[in-house]
Amino acid sequence: MLAKLRRPFFVVNPKAYLHGKESYILAVEADRLAKLYDIDILFTAQLIDMDHLSKITSKIILTSQHMDGIQKGKGMGHVLPEALVDHNVKATFLNHAEFPMSQEEVKMAVSRAKELGIITLLCADTVEDAKKYAQYNPTVMLCEPTELIGTGIVSSLEYKQQTNATIKEISNDIMVLQAAGISNAEDVYNAIMTGADGTGATSGIVCSKNPTETLKAMIEILAKAKKDMVK
């Protein structure tokens, strides 16, 4: 059964900045914060670290940075969906700007994820991309202009509003993640209060002077946004 995300949710995406012990330390803190604030936090990691992370955390949603829509059999070097499930990985990114996929590959991967109950975070660059990929009905559309990734510059309000509206017109069930340039607590709050279902960060956390403290500040403000959403 496909796990359901609760809004607002947060994604911690260390990419290849962290592995091993460094990744474990941040994941344990994310797990603590997820429990403390009752927030859904997705945490990505190197595939080789997933088994250990599944043993030392219980609340975070372990997330692969990529998955292929392949079946068991041939597929040298590809990420088999069943292998993720066996290691308690419940979600996956697809079509990130740093690991682009063809439209057919996206279609196959989303389909396989649905078969196995894996949450999909499908990335889109432009408003047109968001409209194109939303037709596959992923769990989440992650909208971020490629040129803003890692820059600390957030998406414009116009971009956020257009992508949010475009996706919701196709399906109100698809959740929208706005994450470009998120580097501080204020960015997190603004992303949610302008209509996103979730947000997240990479360099804003892992390249800060104290990643665990930065993550703590972001989740604290996300909890505030959660309260303010229902006022």
Report the b/e string of 121-143 with b at 16+ CB within 10 A. Answer: bbbbbebebbbebbebbbbbbbb
ω into 211 cis (within 30 of 0):
no
Residues across the chain: 231
Domain-by-domain residue ranges, the chain?
Answer: 9-229
CATH 3.40.1530.20 describes domain 9-229: no
Model confidence at 184, in pLDDT bands (50, 70, 90)? very high
Nearest to 22 by CA among 42, 45, 40: 45
Residue pLDDT, tens place only, 92-142: 999 999 999 999 999 999 999 999 999 999 999 889 999 999 999 999 999
* Between 29 and 145, the higher pLDDT residue: 29
Instruction: Look up residue 5 and give its DSSP letter.
Output: -
pTM: predicted TM-score of the whole model, two decimal places: 0.94
Position 155 scores a pLDDT of 74
The pLDDT score that the predictor gives to residue 173 is: 95
- Tokens 């509206």 correspond to what residue? 165
**What is the per-residue pLDDT for 157?**
81
pLDDT 10s digits, 24-48: 999 999 999 999 999 999 999 999 9
- Six-digit token pair at 146? 């490629």
